[in-house]
């Protein structure tokens, strides 16, 4: 009778007030969370994946969050992890809400997702700044493509990477440092354990990040502790800078524990108890003021050796990979570039004095007839980001894994006007579909059909790769694996499938790296041009790559 009455009323065209939209609730092994419905997606903000790293848990590995009771509200954007103010510049975001209790993540999922591919975003910021809770990292466009997006926070700066003898003594493994990396591994474990409840496939997880987020992806590829936690990886503007060893000084690199002792002395805190008692904001600002720079630590457990050695020995995770970089990386990172020589003669003389038998090849790639300032920007870009990208692709291909290279030189009027064509991180809004949604400090991307086509192509390539390891798009050409043809995708005014990537670039910088390491040097690949140390002569162990 009730069914018949309902049918008759509907047939009569009766109308009723729309029911209030019910907030989505997901019950996962971690506990129940109530999120938001945004369009066709469900969004859950600031879900804790570990206990707050405060008090005695400061500088301890993350501890899993116990299952909570009741339904946890997940409708408000979370705070960033503690970080110092950023100097005014192209990435200055102004005042950022932050707290030491920050180990949370966001999940955006298609409304009716089931066994959907999962992408886990790791934000950049030199391991000092940034947050996974940013409007630019909106997952709506991923959800439209049937992908679950997870964006994570992790401890930064001194909170995430301090090593110290007293901390090592506290540890059952006699190690310290790498807390931010361990946070990322804990977040990935949370994803494995819980993402199925949100409609994601825990057996199909792609990690991706930009800059320090890309470095974090490299650490995760290298770490035995992260093995099995993900299935594919994307490295956007990654770099392979050296890491300190926990207790051993190597060449120019002090040990991580010695750096920790130095920092404690600078802060006038004689022991770990005093450091733990410091106000978090004061600690973030005071440690940054000393020049303390966070890196991973080679501790024999979480990170066993330098990244280049891990990849050379084929010890990294055997997973499909996308890696690439941008044409104008150094335009917003000019502190990395060498000073501009006064004239072409001085430039040539400086290169010949420093590069010896490789000077001719260096001058072929970065000739004196070109803009000398641009030469410095290009050579530094290639030494830091280009060499890394091609090396990673070659290393994964050597494991028999599909590996894809890209080069992003796309630009738009406001970036061009500021001299920032293809600047560092400029691909990120296109990857997230954030056209017209960039923050105030970003050169505004016009909301035009051309920019949306580029963004749609990049979103398609990234999400299809996450789905089956094969980047494809109806908005762009077929993207072939790197292979013997040195194939790559060039994101210019439109995506272009190309071959013969930058002939000679990788070989030059690989040879420079190898010779400097053979001599005992460690910080090899950001000192180029007139600031480069004199290059050692060729050694038998440093052969030119094919």
Output the pLDDT for position 498.
98
| 131 is a catalytic site residue | no
Catalytically annotated residue among 329, 390, 427, 510 = 329
User: What is the CATH class of 33-243+255-326?
Assistant: alpha beta
Output the pLDDT for position 4.
32
Closest CA to 338 of 362, 302, 361: 362
Catalytically annotated residue among 424, 427, 455, 509 = 424
| 329 is a catalytic site residue | yes
Catalytically annotated residue among 211, 216, 287, 379 = 211
| 211 is a catalytic site residue | yes
pTM of the entire predicted model: 0.94
- 142: CB partners within 8 A, 6+ apart: 108, 119, 148, 149, 432, 459, 463
pLDDT (tens place) for every residue of the chain, 546 residues total = 333 332 333 333 333 333 447 899 999 999 999 999 998 899 999 999 999 999 999 999 999 999 999 999 999 999 999 999 986 555 656 678 999 999 999 999 999 999 999 999 999 999 999 999 998 999 999 999 999 999 999 999 999 999 999 999 999 999 999 999 999 999 999 999 999 999 999 999 999 999 999 999 999 999 999 999 999 999 999 999 889 999 999 877 899 999 999 999 999 998 999 999 999 999 999 999 999 999 999 999 999 999 999 999 999 999 999 999 999 999 999 999 999 999 999 999 999 999 999 999 999 999 998 799 999 999 999 999 999 999 999 999 999 999 999 999 999 999 999 999 999 999 999 999 999 888 888 999 999 999 999 999 999 999 999 999 999 999 999 999 999 999 999 999 999 999 999 999 999 999 999 988 887 765 556 678 888 889 888 876 787 776
* Domains in the chain: boundaries: 33-243+255-326
DSSP H helices in 172-303? 179-194, 212-222, 256-266, 272-277, 280-289
What is the end-to-end Cα distance of the chain in Å, rounded? Answer: 79
Written as six digits, the tokens of 545 are 């790559």
Output the pLDDT for position 452.
96
Under a CB-based contact definition with an 8 Å cutoff, are residues 260 and 157 in contact?
Answer: no
């Amino acid at each position: 009778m009730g069914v018949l009455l309902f049918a008759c009323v509907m047939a009569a065209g009766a109308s009723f007030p729309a029911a209030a939209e019910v907030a989505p609730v997901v019950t996962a092994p971690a506990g129940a969370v109530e999120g938001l419905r945004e369009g066709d997606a469900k969004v859950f903000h600031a879900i804790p994946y570990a206990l707050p790293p405060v008090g005695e848990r400061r500088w301890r590995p993350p501890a899993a969050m116990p299952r909570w009771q009741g339904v946890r509200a997940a409708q408000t954007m979370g705070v960033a992890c503690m970080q110092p103010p950023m100097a005014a510049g192209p990435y200055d975001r102004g005042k950022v809400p932050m707290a030491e209790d920050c180990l949370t993540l966001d999940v955006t999922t298609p409304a009716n997702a089931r066994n959907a591919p999962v992408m886990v975003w790791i934000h950049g910021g030199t391991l000092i700044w940034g947050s996974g809770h940013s409007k630019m990292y909106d997952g709506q466009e991923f959800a439209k493509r049937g992908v679950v997006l997870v964006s994570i926070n992790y401890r930064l700066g001194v909170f995430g990477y301090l090593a110290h003898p007293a901390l090592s003594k506290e540890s059952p493994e006699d190690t310290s440092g790498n807390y931010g990396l361990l946070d990322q591994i804990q977040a990935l474990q949370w994803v494995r354990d819980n993402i199925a409840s949100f409609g994601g496939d825990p057996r199909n997880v792609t990690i991706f990040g930009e800059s320090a987020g890309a470095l974090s992806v490299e650490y995760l590829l290298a770490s035995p502790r992260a093995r099995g936690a993900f299935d594919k990886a994307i490295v956007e503007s990654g770099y392979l800078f050296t890491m300190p060893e926990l207790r051993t000084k190597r060449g120019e690199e002090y040990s991580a524990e010695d750096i920790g002792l130095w920092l404690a002395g600078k802060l006038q805190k004689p022991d770990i108890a005093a450091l733990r008692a410091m106000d978090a904001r004061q600690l973030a600002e005071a440690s940054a003021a000393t020049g303390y720079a966070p890196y991973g630590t080679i501790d024999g457990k979480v990170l066993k050796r330098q990244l280049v050695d891990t990849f050379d020995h084929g010890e990294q995770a055997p997973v499909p990979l996308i890696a690439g970089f941008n044409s104008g990386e150094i335009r917003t990172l000019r502190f990395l570039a060498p000073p501009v020589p006064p004239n072409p003669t001085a430039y040539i003389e400086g290169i010949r004095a420093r590069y010896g038998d490789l000077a001719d090849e260096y001058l072929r790639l970065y000739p004196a007839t070109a803009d000398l300032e641009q030469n410095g920007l290009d050579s530094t870009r290639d030494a830091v980001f280009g060499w890394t990208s091609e090396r990673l692709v070659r290393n994964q291909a050597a494991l028999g894994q599909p590996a894809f290279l890209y080069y992003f030189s796309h630009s738009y009027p406001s970036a061009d006007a500021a001299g920032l064509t293809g600047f560092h991180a400029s691909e990120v809004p296109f990857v997230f579909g954030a056209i017209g949604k960039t923050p105030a400090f970003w050169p505004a991307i016009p909301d035009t059909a051309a920019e949306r086509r580029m963004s749609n192509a990049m979103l398609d390539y990234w999400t299809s790769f996450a789905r089956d390891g094969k980047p494809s798009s109806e908005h762009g050409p077929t993207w072939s694996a790197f292979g013997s043809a040195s194939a790559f995708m060039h994101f210019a005014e439109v995506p272009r499938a190309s071959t013969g990537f930058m002939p000679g670039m990788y070989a030059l910088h690989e040879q420079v790296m190898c010779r400097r390491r053979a001599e005992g040097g460690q910080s090899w690949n950001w000192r180029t041009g007139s600031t480069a140390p004199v290059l050692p002569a060729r050694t038998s162990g440093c052969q030119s790559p094919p």
